[in-house]
A = this chain, B = another copy of it.
């Protein structure tokens, strides 16, 4: 997947949501593997790092006090409390990436996506759907870690989340991992050519013709 001539300039914030079992991680992995200048956001969290986890690797580890301080300063693009810990997206991290022309994928759930809609109106929101209820159930069941309770909980959450797919800019169906990754990459490339985004980089051509013709 190569980028066209026009794909330059500021990076894009790409929100990707979808219930457990839709294969978000695999699809995002494929996008990151196949393309340059795109990364995942590294979330901030107040949970304790596991033995193998380094700060700034999987997460930015913050104390609850520091986390709340960042929120207070308006420097958390979205955040939520989950199982007693806070998780959030640092605006400084995302800001630096997009200013340097790198696209940032935020893999977040529907409530986080809503906060991004408010705080980053220029972000692009993509919802990944499973191809059918059958596939979703099978994928959830095939997780060896799933007990019957957690399956039912996740399935219930999946249906709640899917009901909000219509709030997203784009819907992609993950029937085939590569096709789904290509769909998302097409969306990213196309969104960069939106007049509102590309205008400041093409205005010089128009002005040149208008005033020096």
Contacts and interface: CB of A to CB of B under 8 A. Distances in A.
Contacts of A213: 133, 155-156, 158-159
Nearest to A165: B206
Contacts of A147: none
Interface in A166-194: 166, 168-173, 175-176, 179-180, 182-183, 186-187, 189-191, 193-194
Given A165-B195, A186-B189, A213-B155, A171 B202 contact: yes
A205 B189 CA distance: 27
Contacts of A56: none
A159 B202 CA distance: 14
A183 B193 contact: yes
Max count, chain B CB within 10 A of own CB: residue among A4, A127, A163, A205:
A4
B193 A170 contact: yes
Contact size class for A?
35 or more
Nearest to A131: B205
A65 interface: no
Contacts of A171: 6, 193, 195, 198-199, 202
Contacts of A172: 4, 6, 193
Interface string A42-79: 00000000000000000000000000000000000000
B193 A189 contact: no
A191 to B, nearest CB: 7
Interface of A: 2, 4-7, 127, 129-133, 136, 155-156, 158-159, 162-163, 165-166, 168-173, 175-176, 179-180, 182-183, 186-187, 189-191, 193-195, 198-199, 202, 205-206, 208-210, 212-213
